[in-house]
Structure 1
Amino acid sequence: MPIFHILLVAVIQGITEFLPVSSSGHLILLPNLVGLDDQGLAIDVAAHVGTLGAVMLYFWSDVRLAILGLPRALTGKRDTPGSKLAFLLIIATIPVIVAGFFLKITGLNDAMRSVALIGWTMLGFGLVLWWADQKGTSTKSEADWSTKDAWLLGVWQAVALIPGTSRSGITITGARFLGYKRSDAAKIAMLMSIPTIFASGTLLGLDVAAQADVAMLRDMALAAVFSFFAALLALALMMRLLKSVSFTPYVIYRVILGAVLLLIAYS
Structure 2
Amino acid sequence: MDIIQVVILALIQGLTEFLPISSSAHLILPSQLLGWPDQGLSFDVAVNTGSLLAVVIYFRHELYNMAKAWLASIVKRQSSNESQLAWWIILATLPAVFFGFMAKGFVETHLRSASVIAFTTIVFGLLLWWADKHSRLALTEYQSGWRKSLIIGFAQALALIPGTSRSGITMTAALMLGLTREAAARFSFLMSVPVSLGAAILVVKDLAESPEPLDMQALLLGTSISFVAAYACIHYFLKIISRMGMTPFVIYRLLLGVGLCVFIALHS
What's the CA shift for 1:216?
Answer: 2.6
Q: Which deviates further from its counterpart, 8-17 or 73-82?
A: 73-82
Partner residue, 2:265: 266
Q: For the structure 1 residues 160 and 77, does the alpha-carbon distance in structure 2 shift closer, same or farther, using more than 3 Å as the test?
A: farther
Task: Encode CA deviations 1:118-148: one digit per residue, 9 max, x unaligned.
Answer: 0000001000000000001112112202111
Structure-to-structure mapping, 1:76-91, within 5 angstroms: 79-91=79-91
TM-score scaled by length of structure 1? 0.93
Report what 2:95 is aligned to.
Answer: 95
Q: Please report how far the alpha carbon of residue 220 of structure 1 lies from its aligned counterpart in structure 2 after TM superposition.
A: 1.8
Residue identity in the other structure for 1:87:
W
Aligned positions, number:
266
Partner of 2:33: 33
C-alpha distance in 1 between matches for 2:212 and 2:262: 41
* CA gap 1:145/1:31 in 2 versus in 1, 3 angstroms: same
Matched, 1:136 2:135: yes
Question: CA, structure 1 residues 81+143, in 2 after alignment: closer, same or farther (shift >3 Å)?
Answer: closer
Please tell me the residue identity of whatever aligns with 1:54: A
Q: Report matched runs for 1:52-67 at 5 Å.
A: 52-67=52-67
Indicate if the aligned counterparts of 2:107 and 2:160 stay in contact, CA closer than 8 A: no
Whether the 8 Å contact between 2:88 and 2:145 is mirrored in structure 1 is yes
Report the counterpart of residue 237 of structure 2 in structure 1: 238
Match of 1:10 in 2: 10
Aligned CA distance change for structure 1 residues 30 and 70 (closer, same or farther; 3 Å): farther
> Could you report, residue by residue, the CA deviation over 1:95-131 in whole angstroms, capped at 9, with x for unpaired residues?
0010000112x53332100110100000010000000
Matched residue, 1:216: 215
Report the 3-state secondary structure (helix = DSSP H, G, I; strand = E; otherwise coil) of the residue aligned with 1:15: helix
Change (3 A) 1:81 1:139: closer
Aligned residue identity for 1:90: I
Question: 2-side partners of 1:12 and 1:25: how far apart?
Answer: 10
Identity across the alignment (%) = 37
Output one character per residue of 1:31-69: Cα deviation in whole Å (capped at 9) or x when no partner: 122221111111111111100011111111111112223
TM superposition score normalised by structure 2: 0.93
Matched-pair contact (CA < 8 Å) for 2:69–2:82: yes
Q: Match for residue 154 of structure 1?
A: 153
2:19–2:167 contact (8 Å) kept in structure 1: yes
Hey, what's the Cα distance between the residues in 2 that align with 1:199 and 1:69?
22
How far does residue 73 in structure 1 lie from its aligned partner after superposition?
5.6
Q: Which runs of 5+ in 1 are unaligned?
A: none
DSSP-derived class of the 1:21 partner: coil
1:70 deviation in Å? 4.1
Show the counterpart of 1:121: 120
Q: Does structure 2 retain, via aligned residues, the 8 Å contact 1:176–1:182?
A: yes
Letter in 1 for 2:169: I
State whether structure 2 residue 194 is matched by structure 1 residue 195: yes
* Offset of residue 218 of structure 1: 3.1
Mapped to 2, the partners of 1:75 and 1:262 lie a distance apart of 55
Q: Distance in 1 between matches of 2:204 and 2:245?
A: 36
2:22 alignment partner in structure 1: 22
Residue 262 of structure 1, CA deviation: 1.4
Task: Answer yes or no: is the 8 Å Cα contact 1:24–1:166 preserved in 2.
Answer: yes
